[in-house]
Amino acid sequence: MAFPVQIRLVYFVFTLFGLWPAARLPIYVVLLVGTFMVTFFGRCAIALVLKQLPWNRGRELRLN
């Protein structure tokens, strides 16, 4: 699976968990912090974590 697709899939799953009332606030805070991190620092926390997985070791981190 392509790396950008993996990032979008993880973001979508986080958003789905945000529909669960008990986890709504913590999940949305995590998504908000991640969005600010991408916007102001140019680094995606989801991409940084996914890069550590064995099938993504040789991939370059880019937001394009």
Residue 42 burial class via C-beta count within 10 angstroms: exposed 0-12, middle 13-18, buried 19 and up: exposed
Q: What is the pLDDT along the chain (64 residues), one digit of tens a residue?
A: 788 899 999 999 988 998 999 889 999 898 899 889 999 998 888 888 888 888 887 766 565 5
Residue 63: inside a domain: no
Question: How many domains is the chain built from?
Answer: 1
What does the block give as tokens for 22?
Answer: 């008990």
Please report where in the chains the tokens 């950008």 appear, as a residue. Answer: 4
Residue 64 belongs to some domain of the structure: no
Has residue 59 been placed in a domain? no
Joined together, the tokens standing for residue 21 give: 């009332």
Position 62 in a domain: no
Does 23 fall in a domain? yes
Q: Whose CA is closest to 1, among 38, 37, 55?
A: 55
12 assigned to some structural domain: yes
For residue 13, what are the domain limits?
Answer: 6-54
